[in-house]
C-alpha cells in the first residue's frame, strides 16, 4: 500500500509541477522526447528495413546451400589487390556436375540447377512486356524456392529433361499479355521461340529490394534455356549457372550437406588435397549476416545521436527536481516532523523524476508512431512492442539517474532547518 500511496502522491506533485511551470517543464523534457524519438525512431526504421530486406531474399529458400563461382560474402578480399582474379579463373558449375551430385548425394533432399537471364522481352501477338527475368530451372527448383500458383502447375521432370518449350509465368507477365483471358494453354514468344504457358504464379507483390519478385519472372526448363543461352558447360565467359542443394531436416547447420558437397565437387574437379576449392558454397545466411552488420552500424549511430539528446534531457530532469526540492523544502520539513521516514521522501522524489521522464519518453514514442502512419512505398514501418518497452525502459532509467541526487538531498534534510527556511 505504501508504494501505491507514494506513486499517487508523486503523480500529484508531478502534475502540479507541470501545471504551475508548464513551459519550464516542457523545455526540460524536450531533451528526453528528442532522445527517445531519435533512438526508437532509428531502431524502428532499422528493424523495418532489415525485415523487409530479409523477406525479399526469402526466394533463396531455407536450409539451402548454393554452389557457385563467386562467394556471396566477398571472401578472399583480404588476399591483396588482385584477389578477384582467382575467382575469375574458376569454372562455372556445369550441368554434368549437377547430374553427378543428383545421382550421388545422400545428404541432400533436393538438388537443382538454374540460370538467370535479365532484361528479357516476352511477347504475345502485338503485346509484349520487357525487363523480365528469365530463369532456366530443373524439376527440383520448386523445392528450393516455394511456388504458389494462381493457376496451372510447375514444370514436370519429363518437360525439364526433354527441354520442352513450356513456361511458368509470373502474375504480372500473365496480366500484361493476357488482360482479358486465362493464359493457361496459350503461347508466348521468348527470343523468337514459342512457349506454352502451363502455370501462373500467384501474385507476390512488389519486393523491397525490387528485383526478386516472381511477378516479373518466367521459368522454363533448364535444357530449353540452354537452347537460348550458353550455360552449363563451365566456360568462364558463359552465362553462369548455380547448383542448389537442400539439406535434410535433421542436418543441423547443414554440416553434413556441406561436407558431402565439398567432397564430391573436389573429386569431380580432380583437386589435390593441397589445392584450394575452385568453387564457392554459399548460404543465404551470408547475406543475412552482411545485412545485420550494416544495420548494427545504423543502430549504433541512432544510439549515439539519441544518447546526446538523452544526456541533455537527463540534466533537464535533474534541474526540475532540484528546483522542486527547493520549492517544497517547507513541505519536506513538515512531512518529516509528522514522522515521515527518509525513504518515504526519497521514493517520493524518485517516483516524480521517473514519472516526468516517462512523459518525455511517451511523447517521443508518440512521435515515432506518427511517423509509422506515413506511407513509405513497399516499406512497412512498424513500431514494435519491443521498441516501445525499450523506450519506456530507457526513459525510466534516465529519470532514476537524474532524480537520485535531488531525492537524496531531500531525504537527508533536517526537518527543523527545512521548516525554518520558510
Mean pLDDT, residues 40-64 taken together = 73
Work out whether the CA dihedral 327, 333, 334, 340 comes out positive or negative. Answer: positive
The pLDDT of residue 251 is: 78
Number of structural domains in the chain: 2
The pLDDT of residue 57 is: 60
The pLDDT of residue 415 is: 64
Cell of 142: 520448386
CA distances from 306 to 62, 168, 301 (A): 36, 50, 8
- 224-228 long-range contacts, Cβ below 8 Å, gap at least 24? 224/136, 224/163, 224/164, 224/165, 224/166, 224/195, 225/115, 225/117, 225/134, 225/135, 225/136, 225/137, 226/95, 226/136, 226/163, 227/163, 227/193, 228/117, 228/134, 228/190, 228/191, 228/193
β pairing state of 108-124 and 127-137: antiparallel
DSSP 3-state assignment of 107?
Answer: coil
Q: Show which of 211, 243, 278 is a domain's final residue.
A: 278
Q: Could you tell me which of 198, 185, 178, 167 has the C-alpha nearest to residue 124?
A: 178
CA-based angle 204:205:206, to the nearest 5? 130
Residue 312 lies in a domain: yes
Residue 251 and residue 112 share a domain:
yes
Residue 237 and residue 136 share a domain:
yes
Q: Show which of 278, 302, 328 is a domain's final residue.
A: 278
The pLDDT of residue 206 is: 66
Most confident of 37-51, 235-249, 343-357: 235-249
- Cβ neighbors of 272 (< 8 A, separation 6 or more) are none
Q: With contact defined as beta carbons under 8 Å apart, do 236 and 88 qualify?
A: yes
The pLDDT of residue 76 is: 53
**Is it the case that residue 354 has pLDDT exceeding 50?**
yes
- Cβ neighbors of 141 (< 8 A, separation 6 or more) are 112, 114, 135, 219, 244
More confident residue, 313 or 288: 313
Residue 314 and residue 200 share a domain:
no
Residue 185 and residue 151 share a domain:
yes
Q: Show which of 278, 298, 317 is a domain's final residue.
A: 278
Reported confidence tier of residue 173, pLDDT bands at 50, 70, 90? very high
Q: Which contiguous run of DSSP H or E holds residue 108? A: strand 108-124
Residue 120 and residue 10 share a domain:
no
Residue 131 and residue 21 share a domain:
no
Reported confidence tier of residue 78, pLDDT bands at 50, 70, 90? very low
Unique residue bearing C-alpha cell 529433361: 161
**Is it the case that residue 5 has pLDDT exceeding 60?**
yes
279-304 pLDDT, tens digit per residue, is: 888 887 666 666 666 777 777 877 78
**Is it the case that residue 85 has pLDDT exceeding 70?**
no
Instruction: Give percent above pLDDT 70 in the chain.
Output: 78
First to last CA, the chain: 31
Residues 5, 342: Cα–Cα separation, whole Å = 15
Q: With contact defined as beta carbons under 8 Å apart, do 136 and 225 qualify?
A: yes
180-235 pLDDT, tens digit per residue, is: 878 899 999 999 899 999 999 998 876 555 555 788 899 999 999 999 999 988 88
More confident residue, 257 or 63: 257
Residue 257 and residue 304 share a domain:
no
Residue 364 and residue 311 share a domain:
yes
Instruction: Give percent above pLDDT 90 in the chain.
Output: 22
**Is it the case that residue 274 has pLDDT exceeding 80?**
yes
**Is it the case that residue 6 has pLDDT exceeding 70?**
no
The pLDDT of residue 197 is: 94
- Report the 10 Å Cβ neighbour count for 1: 5
Burial zone of 75 (CB within 10 Å; 0-12 exposed, 13-18 middle, 19+ buried): middle
Residue 159 lies in a domain: yes
Residue 19 lies in a domain: yes
Residue 71 lies in a domain: no
Residue 410 and residue 343 share a domain:
yes
Mean pLDDT of the chain: 81
More confident residue, 375 or 3: 375
Residues 244, 270: Cα–Cα separation, whole Å = 21
Residue 415 lies in a domain: yes
Residue 66 lies in a domain: no
Residue 84 lies in a domain: no
Rg (CA), the chain: 32
CA distances from 298 to 38, 150, 290 (A): 12, 39, 13
Residue 169 and residue 30 share a domain:
no
CA distances from 111 to 84, 126, 141, 259 (A): 28, 39, 8, 15
Residue 294 and residue 273 share a domain:
no
Burial zone of 215 (CB within 10 Å; 0-12 exposed, 13-18 middle, 19+ buried): buried
Domain of residue 319: give its range.
2-56+290-420
Cell of 173: 507477365
More confident residue, 238 or 380: 238
Residue 283 lies in a domain: no
Residue 388 and residue 314 share a domain:
yes
Q: With contact defined as beta carbons under 8 Å apart, do 345 and 333 qualify?
A: no
> What angle, 0 to 180 degrees and rounded to 10, lies between the N-to-C axes of helices 385-411 and 342-372?
150
Mean pLDDT, residues 170-184 taken together = 88
Residues 337, 310: Cα–Cα separation, whole Å = 37
131-169 pLDDT, tens digit per residue, is: 899 999 998 898 888 788 988 999 999 999 899 999 999
**Is it the case that residue 396 has pLDDT exceeding 70?**
yes
Cell of 358: 516517462
Q: With contact defined as beta carbons under 8 Å apart, do 351 and 411 qualify?
A: no
Residues 306, 43: Cα–Cα separation, whole Å = 11
Amino acid at each position: 500500500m505504501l508504494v501505491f500511496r507514494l506513486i499517487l502522491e508523486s503523480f500529484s506533485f508531478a502534475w502540479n509541477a507541470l501545471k504551475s511551470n508548464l513551459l519550464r517543464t516542457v523545455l526540460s523534457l524536450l531533451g528526453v522526447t528528442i532522445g527517445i524519438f531519435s533512438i526508437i525512431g532509428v531502431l524502428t526504421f532499422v528493424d523495418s528495413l532489415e525485415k523487409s530486406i530479409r523477406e525479399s531474399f526469402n526466394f533463396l529458400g531455407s536450409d539451402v546451400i548454393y554452389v557457385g563461382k563467386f562467394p556471396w560474402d566477398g571472401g578472399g578480399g583480404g588476399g591483396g589487390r588482385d584477389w578477384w582474379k582467382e575467382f575469375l579463373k574458376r569454372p562455372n558449375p556445369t550441368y554434368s556436375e549437377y547430374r553427378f551430385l543428383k545421382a550421388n548425394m545422400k545428404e541432400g533432399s533436393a538438388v537443382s540447377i538454374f540460370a538467370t537471364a535479365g532484361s528479357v522481352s516476352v511477347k504475345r501477338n502485338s503485346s509484349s512486356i520487357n525487363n523480365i527475368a528469365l530463369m532456366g530451372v530443373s524439376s527440383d527448383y520448386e523445392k528450393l524456392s516455394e511456388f504458389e500458383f494462381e493457376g496451372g502447375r510447375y514444370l514436370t521432370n519429363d518437360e525439364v529433361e526433354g527441354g520442352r518449350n513450356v513456361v511458368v509465368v509470373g502474375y504480372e507477365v500473365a496480366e500484361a499479355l493476357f488482360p482479358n483471358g486465362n493464359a493457361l494453354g496459350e503461347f508466348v514468344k521468348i527470343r523468337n521461340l514459342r512457349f506454352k504457358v502451363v502455370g501462373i504464379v500467384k501474385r507476390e507483390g512488389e519486393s523491397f529490394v525490387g528485383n526478386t519478385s516472381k511477378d516479373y519472372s518466367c521459368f522454363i526448363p533448364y535444357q530449353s534455356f540452354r537452347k537460348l543461352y550458353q550455360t552449363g558447360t563451365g566456360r568462364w565467359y558463359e552465362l553462369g549457372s548455380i547448383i542448389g542443394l537442400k539439406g535434410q531436416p535433421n542436418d543441423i547447420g547443414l554440416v553434413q550437406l556441406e561436407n558431402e558437397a565439398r567432397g564430391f565437387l573436389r573429386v569431380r574437379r580432380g583437386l589435390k588435397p593441397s589445392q584450394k576449392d575452385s568453387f564457392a558454397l554459399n548460404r543465404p545466411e551470408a547475406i543475412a549476416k552482411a545485412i545485420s552488420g550494416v544495420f548494427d552500424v545504423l543502430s549504433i549511430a541512432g544510439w549515439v545521436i539519441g544518447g546526446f539528446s538523452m544526456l541533455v534531457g537527463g540534466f533537464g530532469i535533474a534541474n526540475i527536481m532540484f528546483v522542486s526540492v527547493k520549492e517544497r523544502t517547507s513541505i519536506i520539513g513538515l512531512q518529516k516532523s509528522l514522522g515521515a521516514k527518509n525513504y518515504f521522501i526519497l521514493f517520493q522524489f524518485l517516483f516524480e523524476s521517473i514519472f516526468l521522464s516517462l512523459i518525455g519518453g511517451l511523447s517521443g514514442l508518440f512521435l515515432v508512431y506518427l511517423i509509422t502512419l506515413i506511407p513509405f512505398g513497399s516499406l512497412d514501418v512498424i513500431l514494435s512492442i519491443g521498441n516501445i518497452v525499450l523506450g519506456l525502459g530507457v526513459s525510466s532509467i534516465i529519470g532514476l539517474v537524474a532524480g537520485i541526487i535531488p531525492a537524496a538531498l531531500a531525504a537527508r534534510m533536517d526537518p527543523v532547518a527545512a521548516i525554518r527556511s520558510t
